[in-house]
Amino acid sequence: MTIDAQFSGITLRKPGVEDGAALHRLVRECRPLDENSVYCNVLQCTHFADTCVVAEKGGDLVGFVTGYRLPDNPEVYFLWQVGVGEGGRGHGLGKRMIQAILSRPFCRGVTELNTTITRSNEASRGLFASFARDEGAEMTEHEWLTEAHLDGHSAEYLFRIRPLSTPRAG
């Protein structure tokens, strides 16, 4: 197990196959996140472990970030989901997890973070605005996936945060 950080009894680490089902359960608790299949969450915890993080407290998952580097533009980290359960709130865990991933050697060369957020998800909008301010970066947004693309699901807006200032592993 690679530990990225420890604070307030919380350990940030790379996920493994054993975390997939627990991550899936935590997504269900973190409304309004979209629930993926357990299989998808297991793949995130294995195939994409270098670009995902789980937060553990007392043996329970209390937070996670899933994402990946864009295959056609590896300078961009695409953050798929971030979730913080009740046991992880009040510690700035969302930002800490994002910073832990971006500080890993695997993310060397990442200069931009992208994510998508619906109009109604104020918590995520606040998290990423705060992250951009802390980075001294510009944050832009535009509609990316319409309701028609998503079969009636709310439109997703692409947020681009750049340039990132978090020190990258060298």
**Domain segments of the chain as ranges:** 3-162
pTM: 0.92
Q: Kindly report the CATH class assigned to 3-162.
A: alpha beta
Q: What is the pLDDT of residues 83-120, one digit of tens each?
A: 999 989 988 999 999 999 999 999 999 999 999 999 99
Please state, in angstroms and rounded to a whole number, the distance separating the CA atoms of residues 17 and 45.
6
Q: Is the pLDDT of residue 170 over 60?
A: no
Angle (nearest 5°) at CA 167 between 163 and 170: 115
What separation in angstroms does the CA of 52 have from each of 64, 79, 80, 133, 147?
7, 9, 9, 22, 27
Pairing of strands 112-117, 73-84: parallel
Supply the pLDDT for residue 169: 45
